[in-house]
Amino acid sequence: MTDFNDWMHAIQSRTEVVLERLLPSGQVVPQRLHQAMRYVVLGGGKRVRALLAHAAGELCDADPARVDAAAAAVELIHAYSLVHDDLPCMDDDDLRRGKPSCHKQFDDATALLVGDALQSLAFQALAQPGLLQDAACQLTMSHLLAQASGSRGMAGGQAIDLASVGLDLTQMELEFMHIHKTGALIRAAALLGAHCGQTHNVSRLAALDHYAKSIGLAFQVVDDILDSEADTATLGKTAGKDAAQNKPTYVTILGPERAKRLAQELHDSALEQLVPFGAQALRLKQLAAFITQRQF
């Protein structure tokens, strides 16, 4: 078996190829919109959600070619969310993945349309005829992604985030926000990968969902720590933006040391869910470490 870094780079490269094929050429009308879509999706990001989809797919003996569609779909939704998140009416950030954000490189209207188009393309990827032999399961996957992306998931979490600027949230309130804003799509990535496989055992899916919920929260805790301690060059986005905008974070609520302990506790909670799967869950275990041990 290849080591984790080799596996990770292989999945990242594979996902890049799939996304490149899914995205319309920049030469196709409307060229500016298609160029902007490719600008924000290709050549950047850690592809954590794609990695989760493939790791969960391996756990459930899924054909990697089928997982490709699920991995691409969650990456497209994630990219759209970043484009909209950076807009002046949201977080108003000029930098993303180490380069000018979409509305700075193009314009606000194009960025808005890019987000709309990427969201549609994500569902187009999941809805392709024959992706799964079981059409009902394929429909379930679309339902999962829609719920994770909408008002009861990512979009709802962003609304809570915008409404929370300047407020003193409790840890429970902050967790509720991030279960939706960040965690919902991470959980969807794992479940979509699993649904591409042969095993749809309810208890197995519940354990995987619990794992992904813990990892999704850990991802946000680490992001908050890095935002307060790392520099802009390391992050690829504007450092210290949350503090500047008076946003509640795990660091402002708990302090840096307690936040770091919480990230470790969430990591341990995630691993507990994987115990019944034994060696089959190796990639999920390695991903948990990768997400929670990003340098801070």
- Per-residue pLDDT tens over the stretch 15-72: 999 999 999 999 999 999 999 999 999 998 899 999 999 999 999 999 999 999 999 9
292 touches 268 (CB < 8 A):
no
Just give the CATH number of 4-292.
1.10.600.10
Torsional class of 170: left (φ above 0), alpha (ψ -120 to 50), beta (otherwise): beta
Surface-to-core class of residue 203, CB atoms within 10 Å of its CB (0-12 exposed, 13-18 middle, 19+ buried):
exposed
The helix (H) or strand (E) run that includes residue 99 is: strand 99-100
CA-nearest of 192, 152, 259, 245 to 51 is 192
What do you get for the CA distance between the two ends of the chain, in Å? 29
The DSSP secondary-structure symbol of 46 reads -
Which residues are paired to 96 by β-bridges? 99
Query: Tokens standing for 110?
Result: 């194009």
Q: Where are the domains of the chain?
A: 4-292
- Per-residue pLDDT tens over the stretch 7-31: 999 999 999 999 999 999 999 999 9
Helix 202-229 crosses helix 48-59 at what angle (to 10 degrees)?
160
- Round the average pLDDT of the chain to a whole number and report it: 93
Query: Tokens standing for 283?
Result: 């990639």
Give the predicted TM-score (pTM) of the model. Answer: 0.94
